[in-house]
Homo-oligomer: A and B are copies of this chain.
Amino acid sequence: MTAATGEEPSPIVVIEEVDGGVVRVIRFNRPEARNAFNLALYEAVTDAINDAADEVGCHVVVLIGTGSSFSAGQDLKEMAALVTGEASPEAAKGFRGLLDAMQSFEKPLLAAVNGVGVGLGFTLLPHCDLVFMADDARLRVPFAELGVPPEAASSYMFPKTLGWQRAALLLFTGAWMTAPEAVDANLALAHFPGESLLAETLTVARTIAAMPLDALMASKRLLLATRNPEVTAARDREDAGFAKLLGSAANLAALDRFGTKSGP
């Protein structure tokens, strides 16, 4: 889709301004790795969100991915490198920085889930205000089979958003959730054919962007205030659990099985 013929390497995140910039689209652009989050992608998305927060002309942000995936989540090669100590200490910071940016983003944040979302490609969605999905998009969290606990506050956000039962099913089994199921479960507002997904999302984004920024930000700030303390607490608990289980026998076996040996 991108950079197929050009000489310049395609940037890992593509920013598109809509209607003079009142709506900003942030596109995960690492399709060769199904938009998995490596350190470079974490940092580029984080910067893009923080820039949109600072830009007074920008009222609304839309997240989307290039290609057939929304995001494959945490890059498992980088997870394996964390286990072996080959990863730089920066690696885990990328993940935390992105979540911090989302948690403190005080403007409406939309997601257009263009395709498969796995792990963080799923767990970042409840941090968005409005989620729209392609008809054939689907989502899952393989934490249990990877031998690690939930992340990105999903231990709090999943039961809160999907209800305890669906949250438990997804977290315990790693089952796929389809777009209609996501709408039924209040994770997404609607699903559309893939070719009209972005246009439909932008229609809503424009309606929102027409509102006074101060009022939008006041609303978003008040909404965030109702959950941010619990989101932060859940992240802290999850991080502690992750530190315990990363590199456990089950985790090592899973990383092997997923074919993610890192290093030379």
Question: B167 to A215, Cβ gap below 8 A?
Answer: no
- What does the 1/0 interface line of A123-161 toward B look like (CB < 8 Å)? 000100111000000000001111111100001100111
Task: Give A207-249 as 1s and 0s: 1 = Cβ < 8 Å from B's Cβ atoms.
Answer: 1100110111011011101110010001001100100110010
Question: Chain B residue with minimal CB distance to A248?
Answer: B214
The answer to whether A226 and B222 have CB atoms under 8 Å apart is no
Are A225 and B237 neighbours in the complex by a CB distance under 8 Å? Answer: yes
Q: Which residues of B contact A165 (CB under 8 A)?
A: 129-131, 186-189
Within 8 Å CB of A41, what residues of B? Answer: none
Nearest CB on B from A61, distance (A): 13
A235 to B96, CA, bound (A): 31
Nearest-CB residue, chain B, relative to A168: B129
**Smallest CB–CB gap between A252 and chain B, Å?**
11
Chain B, Cβ-Cβ closest to A253: B212
A155–B226 touching, CB < 8 Å: yes
Chain A contact residues, CB within 8 Å of chain B = 108, 126, 129-131, 143-150, 155-156, 159-161, 163-169, 171-174, 186-189, 204, 207-208, 211-212, 214-216, 218-219, 221-223, 225-227, 230, 234, 237-238, 241, 244-245, 248, 250
7 tightest Cβ-Cβ pairs between the two chains A and B: A212-B250, A155-B222, A149-B218, A129-B168, A163-B186, A144-B211, A172-B208
